[in-house]
Amino acid sequence: MTALLDLLPLLAFFIASKKFGLLAGAAAVLAATLIVYGIHLVRQKWRLTKQQWVVLVLTILFCGATILLRDDLYLRWKTPIINLSFALALAVSALIGKPLMQPVAKDVLRFSPQGWQRLTYAWAAFFLLLAALHYWFGLYHYDASEQAKNLFIHFKSYGQLILMGIFLAAQAFVLRKHLNIESDTTPANEASEQPSQQQH
């Protein structure tokens, strides 16, 4: 349910941007995000996760600036900064020995402390890749042409979702031996195996 709700701002952005331009897309993202996070607040007993707060605050700041200043540059900076923030938070957490992926996935996966660090670094690298791609399509390669605008709109709307799907599928395959499944035949030391280097 939460994942489906979080797709609504992207859908709103795609429809509004294609029909009315990027300023309308920014307004649609802002409105949809406020609605979705209002629902999250109610469903989560008036609490938001740190990740949700980051997304909400940066969306209000960058989409608000885009609308008030009528400049889509701020909208195009939003997603690279969000993804870079996630990448830095994950990398720092692994560096200080408190990998953020452990509390998120501990009920699904089992790793040694080094394994959780590697998994967290892999996710940090993935978010860094997303930040770089959003920077490429939204800023470095962006110009006033319709082709550049369409590339930005399409990548922001569903290109990142395709990459996330591929990454999660690859990760599920690579980490299948680390699934936290209760079994009498499971070797006692298997839980301490380090994850594959191919993790994301």
Q: What pLDDT, in 10s, does the model give residues 51-96?
A: 999 999 999 999 999 999 999 999 999 999 999 999 999 999 999 9
**CA gap 57, 173 in Å, rounded:** 35
* Cβ–Cβ under 8 Å, residues 72 and 80: no
**CA gap 176, 190 in Å, rounded:** 13
**CA gap 168, 188 in Å, rounded:** 27
3-state SS, one letter per residue, for the chain = CHHHHHHHHHHHHHHHHHHHCHHHHHHHHHHHHHHHHHHHHHHCCCCCCHHHHHHHHHHHHHHHHHHHHCCCHHHHHHHHHHHHHHHHHHHHHHHCCCCCHHHHHCCCECCCHHHHHHHHHHHHHHHHHHHHHHHHHHHHCCCCCHHHHHHHHHHHHHHHHHHHHHHHHHHHHHCHHHECCCCCCCCCCHHHCCCCCCCC
**CA gap 144, 161 in Å, rounded:** 25
The pLDDT value given to residue 190 = 37
Single pTM value for the model: 0.84
From first to last of its 200 residues, the chain has per-residue pLDDT tens of 777 889 999 999 999 999 999 999 999 999 999 999 999 999 999 999 999 999 999 999 999 999 999 999 999 999 999 999 999 999 999 999 999 999 999 988 999 999 999 999 999 999 999 999 999 999 999 997 999 999 999 999 999 999 999 999 999 999 988 887 654 444 434 333 333 333 33
The pLDDT value given to residue 135 = 98
- Domain ranges in the chain are 1-71, 86-200
